[in-house]
Amino acid sequence: MPRAAKWGRNGTSETPKPIDLRFGKVRLQISSGVYTKDAWTLRRNAIRESWALGGLWRDAVMALIAKRFTLAAFYEARQQGEPAVRTLMATSGSEPLKDLIRDYVKQSKAKDIRHTTQKLQRYSAALGKSPSVADVTTASVEAFLAALTDIRTHPRTRKRPYKGWVPSTPVPAKGSTINRYRAAIGGLCTWAVKKGRMTEHPIAGKKVEKYAEPHHRLPEMSADEYREYMATARAKRPDVAVVLLLLIHTGCDMGELMAETPPVLVVRDVDFARGRIRYDRPKTIRWGSLPRYVPMPAVVVEAMRAHVAEYGVKGEQAAFGMFQRSEAEWLHRQAAQAIQRPKLTIKDLRHVAAISWVKAGVHIRLVMKWLGHRSLSQTMRYTDYEPDDAVGAEMAERAALTLTKHLNTGSIPNAIPGAEKTA
C-alpha cells in the first residue's frame, strides 16, 4: 500500500493517494492510481455507491477487495453500465490460493497453526498447479476429503530407508483425520468470506458433511496389570517410579511434571497435609491461569515424601528437575512390555486415571475438574464405564443415609407438610 499522499494547493499529488474504506467488518485498501483530488474523489464515491446498491455492484466491490481486477478496470466498467460489470466479473481472474493461505496463517493466533498450514498446503497441492480461490468449491473439497490417505503412508512424504525401497500402499485416512482437514479448510473459508476475499462458503450449511469417527475404547488397566507394571518400574528405576505413580493416580500430563518452560510442578504445589497436588495445564495456559487440585492417594503421598526427602528439593524448586523426560518414557515402555501391552503409551496413563475414578463412583463433573477439562463434553467419553457392583452398593448405602439420617435423631423432616399433625 503506497504511503498516504498530501494534496497540493492545485489539488494534485506527486504520488497516487490510496483509498481506505470500511464497510462493516470488510475493509478495502487499494491504490487509486490517480494524481488529482477530483479523480480520487470520483473513484472513492464510485466504490461507496456500488456497495450501497448491493447485488452485482456489491459483488464487484468484493472482487475488487480480492484483487481480481484493478480499480481502473472497475471504474471504467462501472461507467459503461451493468453489462460491462458482468463481463468484467466473468472474465477476471481469481486470487491465487497460496496468497489467501499466506494471509490467513499470518493473522492467525492459533497455537497449532503449523499443522493447519500443512493441511491447507496439502489441499492446495491436490488442486493442481497454481490453484486460485475460485477452485475452492464444494465439489473440490469433497473430492479431496474422499481421496485423503494417511500421511504417514503417503509415498511423497515417507522417507525411503534404503535403496530399492517400494512405498507401501497408501491407507485411507480415518474419519477423525478427515474431519480435521475439513475443519482446517472451513476455517480458511470462513475467514476469507468475512474479509470479502471469497463470495461463497463451500462447506458451511452442511454442504460437506462430517465423516463418521470410529469409537475406540479407551485404555484401562486391571489390578494385576497395575501390580506387574509398578513392580517392573520399581525394579528398574525406583527413583523414577514415582513419576508413573503420579500419572496413573492423578491424571496429569508429562508436560505438567517435566517441561522445559513453566508452568511445571514445583514442591510447593504438593500439599502433604491435605493430600492433594496442584497442576497448571500448559495446553490451557493461553486462556489464563487455570490451576486444579487433585487428591493424592496414600501410596502417592508416601512416594512423594520419600522423593522430596531423598533429593532435598523444596519451595519453588522443580519437583522432578533431576530427571529427563526421556527417562520416564523409557521406564514406561519397559513396564508396558512387562504386562504385554507395548502399544500402551505414557499419555494413556491419564485415561487409566480417569477410568479408575469413574469406576470408583466419582461424579463425572469432579472427574472433569481433576482432569482440567474446560468443557464437560471432553469428559463424557468416560461415561462408557460404570462403577462395579460393590462400589454401586456402597454408593446406594451412602445415598440412603442422606434420606434416613433423621431417623437417628428421632426428628421428622419439615419438608413433609402436616407430618406433625399426623403423628
pLDDT, tens digit, 9 for 90 and up, residues 98-122 = 888 988 998 887 767 888 999 999 9
DSSP string across 13-37: -SSPPEEEEEETTEEEEEE---SBH
Report CA 423 to chain centroid distance, whole Å. Answer: 62
Q: Give the pLDDT mean for 35-48.
A: 90
* pLDDT above 70 coverage of the chain, percent: 85
SS3 call for 240: coil
Q: Is the pLDDT of residue 59 over 90?
A: no
Residue 413 has a pLDDT of: 47
What's the whole-number average pLDDT of the chain?
Answer: 83
Locate 251 and state its grid cell: 491424571
Could you tell me whether strands 276-280 and 270-271 are parallel, antiparallel, or unpaired per DSSP bridges? antiparallel
Domain ranges of the chain: 18-91, 97-194, 223-387
Distances (CA, A) of 381 to 213, 300, 346, 384, 409: 13, 26, 19, 7, 42
Please name the residue that has the C-alpha cell 502399544.
Answer: 343
Residue 157 has a pLDDT of: 44
Please name the residue that has the C-alpha cell 486470487.
Answer: 95
DSSP string across 120-189: HHHHHHHT-SS-BGGG--HHHHHHHHHT-B-GGG-TTTSPP-STT--PPPPPBPPHHHHHHHHHHHHHHH
Distances (CA, A) of 24 to 27, 28, 107, 196, 396: 8, 11, 19, 11, 59
- Model confidence pLDDT, tens digit, residues 146-195: 998 875 544 444 444 444 545 556 778 888 889 999 999 999 999 888 87
Q: Is the pLDDT of residue 19 over 60?
A: yes
Distances (CA, A) of 216 to 160, 339, 381: 31, 21, 10
Residue 355 CB coordination number (10 Å)? 21
pLDDT interval class at 67 (50, 70, 90): confident
Side-chain half-sphere exposure of 95, counting CA atoms within 13 A: 21
Side-chain half-sphere exposure of 36, counting CA atoms within 13 A: 4
Q: Is the pLDDT of residue 18 over 80?
A: yes
- Model confidence pLDDT, tens digit, residues 199-249: 789 998 889 998 887 666 688 899 999 999 999 999 999 999 999 999 999
Range with the lowest mean pLDDT among 80-84, 157-161, 195-199, 356-360? Answer: 157-161
Alpha-carbon span 35 to 32, nearest angstrom: 8
Q: Give the pLDDT mean for 310-314.
A: 92
Alpha-carbon span 351 to 252, nearest angstrom: 10
Residue 158 has a pLDDT of: 45
The yes/no answer on whether domain 223-387 falls in CATH 1.10.443.10 is yes
Alpha-carbon span 168 to 151, nearest angstrom: 12
Answer yes or no: pTM beyond 0.75: no
